[in-house]
């Protein structure tokens, strides 16, 4: 999700130079690609559909952190989470859309895992 959001909404907003460009590439291009490779080549047989909810914990915490930090020092990391530029309803919609995107990707990854590792029964149960 980091690579996708950055590529769609943020990449054109700045032009890092020197070591900052290296760090930018590692964080937004190399690490997401590494995650995908790790996910594809490692067994995740214990993943269940309910685990998609857990994928929302860190992004939710980050959104809360971004709003809290911005309220303290006036700096918001993303234009789509900046209350100085957007209405409350736009902020809520953007945060909800971001979390929905995380949920959809989590469900897709879990579905791919279920199919790839030949789970005989896909269920919504907790077991």
Q: pLDDT tens digits, residue range 76-86?
A: 988 889 999 99
Give CA–CA dist 1/60, Å, rounded. Answer: 13
* Residues 17 and 1 reside in one and the same domain: yes
Give the count of alpha carbons within 13 A of 123, CB side only: 5
pLDDT-based confidence at residue 123 (cuts at 50, 70, 90) = very low
Q: Is the pLDDT of residue 16 over 60?
A: yes
Q: Is the dihedral of CA 87, 92, 96, 99 positive or negative?
A: positive
* Residues 38 and 52 reside in one and the same domain: no
Region 3-23 average pLDDT: 86
Torsion of CA 113, 114, 115, 119, to 10 degrees: 130
* Residues 95 and 36 reside in one and the same domain: no
* Residues 69 and 12 reside in one and the same domain: no
The number of folded domains in the chain is: 2
Residue, of 33 and 14, whose pLDDT is higher: 33
* Residues 32 and 74 reside in one and the same domain: no
* 71: containing domain: 46-127
* Residues 109 and 74 reside in one and the same domain: yes
């Amino acid at each position: 999700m980091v690579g996708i959001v950055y590529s769609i909404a943020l990449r054109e907003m700045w032009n890092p130079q020197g070591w900052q460009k290296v760090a930018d590439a590692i964080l937004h291009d190399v690490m997401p690609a590494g995650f995908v490779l790790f996910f594809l080549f490692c067994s995740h047989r214990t993943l269940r559909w309910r685990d998609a909810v857990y994928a929302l914990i860190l992004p939710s915490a980050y959104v809360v952190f971004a709003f809290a930090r911005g309220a303290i020092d006036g700096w918001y990391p993303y234009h789509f989470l900046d209350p100085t530029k957007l209405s409350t309803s736009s902020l809520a919609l953007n945060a909800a859309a971001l979390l929905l995107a995380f949920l959809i990707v989590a469900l897709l990854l879990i579905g791919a895992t279920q199919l790839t590792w030949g789970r005989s029964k896909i269920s919504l149960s907790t077991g």
